[in-house]
Every structure is written in structure tokens, then in C-alpha cells.
Amino acid sequence: MNVLVTGGAGFIGSHIVDALVERNHTVTVIDSLDPAAHDGPPEWMNPNATWRLGPASGEARSADVAEEATWDGALEGIDAVCHQAAKVGLGVDLTDAPAYAINNDLGTARMLAAMSASGWGGRIVLASSMVVYGEGRYACPDHGIVAPLPRRSDDLDADRWEPRCPTCRRELTTGLVPEDAAIDPRNVYAATKAHQEHLCGAASAELGTVTTALRYHNVYGPRMPRDTPYAGVASIFRSQLANGRPPQVFEDGGQRRDFVHVSDVAAANIAALERPVPYAGALNVASGHPFTLLDMARTMAAEDGRGLEPTVVGGYRIGDVRHVTADANLARSVLGFEAQVQPADGLAAFVHEPLRRPPAR
């Protein structure tokens, strides 16, 4: 199979490229080498893939998926597109909103427009995210499954962390969120990931394409970016430990997440690309073994071995959510995918694994 991987120089994309090459697929990569994430071409570029990179590599051609020129001829001979290119993370504040919209929304729209113009009709595997759900699955003893209201700063300032029932204000119990849960993006990044899913879905009838949207939960592993506000919490804790500082945990540390190793995420992409009949719809990609952020920080600090006990510092990010953990059964049923790396093992190993060099400031 000839596969085009957008964002293939990045953290997750590069692992997908390696997995595709290992399985003897023909791989072409487009990556802009966004300076917010890269300080140049990464050292892990697979020599058996064809690379088209951004200006940091010295190339004159555009490799930015949001630029129309990037797509000129890019789909010729391509059987499937693995669309990983995106601006990720919560960012700094709303001044980041245009960059998220350009990279994620416009980049996907340019891709779909190029598919339409060229008559391309292969399969798309889209990197989506658990952030589209907003808060996870909650139940009220009296009102059943409910969607809690957005978290309020007055509650958070008073250390009232747990969402409550929007009807009776009782404390809720948490569960695993399935793919048919209503989406409720609660920050700019989340909104753009939902937009990507909707754009691909809206285009499917005209293009004759099928999109499998893989909703990644909290991905970690080697090649994560370091020392950037766009990195995930695993990278932030890893960087703090590397700098001889104890992990700093927001709120009370009780936030629950599902941490999935990047090798498992790559395997899920391979399974979606190689499925004889492509699956149309969204699938959670998760380990199935939730952790609290404090337990995660303790696991990593214990492996570090220098007695850097995590510090619960309170505080919060208003666009963040309290709990979101996945029901992983549908991906198991549809793709035969089941995560192989247990978070306790993977997070301990991650303490010793290399991170991506910090981008230039």
C-alpha cells in the first residue's frame, strides 16, 4: 500500500512511519517542521520513507498542509492518507486560536479540497483525540448519565474539583466514555479536532472516501517534545524530573486519564490502514487502564530514584477537564486492537527515554 503520512516527522507520526516501513508499505511524508515543535529535521527520519519537509530542512517547496501548493501532485499514486499533522495541546491562551484553526481546520480542508480536485477516493485515517468529549462519562444517582456543566473558576478557586449534576448538584460517579457519547469540546484544540472529524465526514459522500477517526487518549513515549507549553503532561513531568525537579501536579492530583504508549497508537493506525474494509467512524485508542495524574507522577518519580516526590501545587487550567477515560472495547472489536504496554510499565520506562530537542526560542 502507498501511504501518505502528514506530520510524519512528529512524535506520533514518526512512529507510524517506522511501523509502516517495517510492514513493507511505501511511505511518503509531508511535514512542515513547525518551529513551535522542531528545531530542524529530526534524527529519527526513516531512510526508507520519502520525505518532503518544510523550510527548516532547506527545501524550497511548501510542506505545510494548510498551503494549497503543498497538495499539488501530493496524492498521485497514494492509496491511503494517514493524517497526523496538527497543532496539539491546550496551548497558552486564546492568542493561539488562529494557529490552531489554520493548522488543524484549514490544513484538513486543504487536504479534502485536493482530494476533490484530483478525484482521489482512498481511505483516510485521521488523528483525532479524546478531547472532543470534553468531560468524560458521569452518572448521577438520581438523574442517570449526565453531562456536567463547564467547570467554573469560583469552584476551582475554592478547590472544588469534582463536577456535579447540572440538575441537583449532587456529586457524580465517573465511568468509561464510549464513542457514541455526545462530543462537547471545551477548549480551542478540542474544537479543532472535532472540526477535523466533521470535515472528513462531510466530504465522504462527495469523495467516496471512508474516514477512520482514531481518538487518541493521553499518548506518551520516546520522541515526545520537551520544554514546550504544547507538550502533554507526561512530557512535562519527564522534563521536570530530567531537570532535577519534582513533578508539579495541578489541582489535587485526582484527575483520571488513560495513558497509551505511542507504540500502541502506531499499531492502531496500522490496524486501521490494513483493515480489509475500512471502518467509517470514531474509535477510542487507549490502554484501558486509567491512572490519576498523581499516581502517574509517583510512578515516574519512583523510577527516577532520586527521591523527587511529586508536589501537589493546586491551581488549574480553565480549559482542562477533570476526568476522561476510555471504553476501549469498540477498537478491540473492529480492529482487533488491544494495547500491549501497561501504563505502569510504560511510564516507568519513559523516565529513561529520549525526548525531542526543544524548539528554538
Residues labelled catalytic: 189
For residues 327 and 314, what is the distance between their CA atoms, to the nearest angstrom?
A: 29
The answer to whether the beta carbons of residues 255 and 295 sit under 8 Å apart is no
Q: What is the largest CA-CA distance in the chain?
A: 62
For residues 325 and 259, what is the distance between their CA atoms, to the nearest angstrom?
A: 9
Specify the pairing of strand 137-140 against strand 173-175: antiparallel
C-alpha radius of gyration, the chain, whole number: 20
> What would the grid cell of residue 276 be?
480489509
For residues 250 and 242, what is the distance between their CA atoms, to the nearest angstrom?
A: 19
For residues 114 and 108, what is the distance between their CA atoms, to the nearest angstrom?
A: 10
> How big is the CA angle at 17 (ends 207 and 111), to the nearest 5 degrees?
25
DSSP string, 124-166: EEEEEEGGGGSS-EEEETTTEEE-PPPP-HHHHHTT--S-B-T
Residues near 62 by beta carbon (within 8 Å), at least 6 away in sequence: 32, 54, 69, 70
DSSP string, 269-320: HHHHHH-SS---EEEEE--S--EEHHHHHHHHHHHH-S----EEEE---TT-
* Residue 137 burial class via C-beta count within 10 angstroms: exposed 0-12, middle 13-18, buried 19 and up: buried
CA–CA distances in Å: residue 87 to residues 143, 161, 306? 37, 28, 34
For residues 331 and 313, what is the distance between their CA atoms, to the nearest angstrom?
A: 36
